Amino acid sequence: MKYAQVISNVIKVDVEIVDRNMNRIAGTGIFSDQVGAINEGSVYGFVN
């Protein structure tokens, strides 16, 4: 969670961090209460 908060503070946007299985492992702002959720239907599934 510390990395997400640092990134968010630097770039001034809400940040989410997901693992390779699309599970949200950290988040700030609107994503903070969704940690542990599966991020289905997201564009991140296409980024390698």
Per-residue pLDDT reduced to its tens digit, 3-31: 999 999 999 999 999 888 888 999 999 98
pLDDT of amino acid 45: 61
pLDDT of amino acid 6: 95
Nearest 5°: the CA angle 48, 41, 25 is: 65
Neighbours of 4 (CB within 10 A): 21
Phi, psi of 20 (to 5 degrees): -65, -15
pLDDT of amino acid 14: 94
